[in-house]
């Protein structure tokens, strides 16, 4: 993990506000999805909330694995679970939490095309300028490593695994607390 990683820690309320804004952006277009495809695991929460806000009748998932640690990836993303429902001839909103490299979104988009989706639009909470795909709908741009409420414990554990030196681990966790993670939450997650 590079030493210069900066963190961004949105709260649950901020996430919901982002999703409300995404909903407004989507509703302001002629695109009305028949199905939301959430990329598991990161896009699950956002996908479920958008199904509710958009009043879209169907939510399905596609699980793709790419990241192995903070800023560390496999050579290429791979499919862990195929689409759980058909998207043939349907307008699809493809949802993930972030477009970092864009490789996961690109793979998912290709899969949906092969499954003969009628139309595909993408939505993410965050995107990074270096992503090879800019989502059709997105709310926040960042260069930071975003720690979402649904992956906080996993991120803290990866930091502990990455740094053999306890002092370095503590420094990195202190950076995360300074970036906005409440100390009591960090303590509860690290010392259950």
pLDDT at 79: 83
For the chain, give me the number of helices (H) and strands (E)? 6, 8
Domains in the chain: boundaries:
7-146, 150-190
**Separation of alpha carbons 25 and 87, rounded Å:** 23
Percent of the chain whose pLDDT exceeds 70: 94
Please state the pTM of the whole predicted model: 0.90
Residue found under tokens 């909470």: 125
Q: Is the pLDDT of residue 71 over 70?
A: no
Name which CATH class applies to 7-146: alpha beta
Q: Helix, strand, coil: what percent of the chain each, to 5?
A: 40, 30, 30
CB contact at 8 A, 61 and 37: yes
As to burial, measured by CB atoms within 10 angstroms (0-12 exposed, 13-18 middle, 19+ buried), residue 100 is buried
Task: Kindly report, residue by residue over 95-150, the tens digit of the pLDDT.
Answer: 999 999 998 999 999 999 999 999 999 999 999 999 999 999 999 999 999 999 99
**Separation of alpha carbons 83 and 80, rounded Å:** 10
The HSE-up count of residue 98 (CA atoms within 13 Å, CB side) is: 22
Q: Is the pLDDT of residue 31 over 90?
A: yes
Residues 6+ apart with CB under 8 A from 91: 31, 32, 33, 34, 35, 117, 118, 119, 121
Q: Is the pLDDT of residue 163 over 80?
A: no
């Amino acid at each position: 993990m590079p030493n210069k990683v900066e963190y961004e820690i949105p709260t649950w309320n901020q996430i919901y506000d982002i999703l409300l804004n995404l909903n407004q952006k989507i509703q302001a277009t002629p695109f009305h999805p028949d199905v939301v495809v959430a990329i598991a695991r990161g896009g699950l929460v956002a996908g479920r909330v958008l199904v509710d806000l958009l009043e879209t009748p169907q939510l399905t998932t596609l699980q793709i694995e790419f990241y192995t640690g903070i800023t560390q990836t496999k050579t290429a993303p791979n499919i862990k679970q195929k689409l759980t429902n058909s998207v043939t001839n349907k307008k699809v909103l493809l949802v993930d939490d972030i477009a970092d490299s864009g490789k996961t979104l690109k793979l998912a988009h290709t899969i949906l095309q092969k499954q003969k989706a009628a139309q595909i639009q993408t939505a993410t909470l965050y995107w990074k300028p270096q992503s090879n795909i800019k989502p059709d709908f997105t709310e926040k741009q960042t260069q930071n490593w975003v720690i979402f409420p649904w992956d906080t414990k996993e991120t803290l554990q990866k930091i502990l695994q990455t740094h053999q030196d306890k002092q370095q681990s503590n420094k990195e966790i202190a950076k995360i607390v300074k970036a906005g993670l409440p100390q009591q939450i960090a303590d509860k997650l690290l010392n259950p």
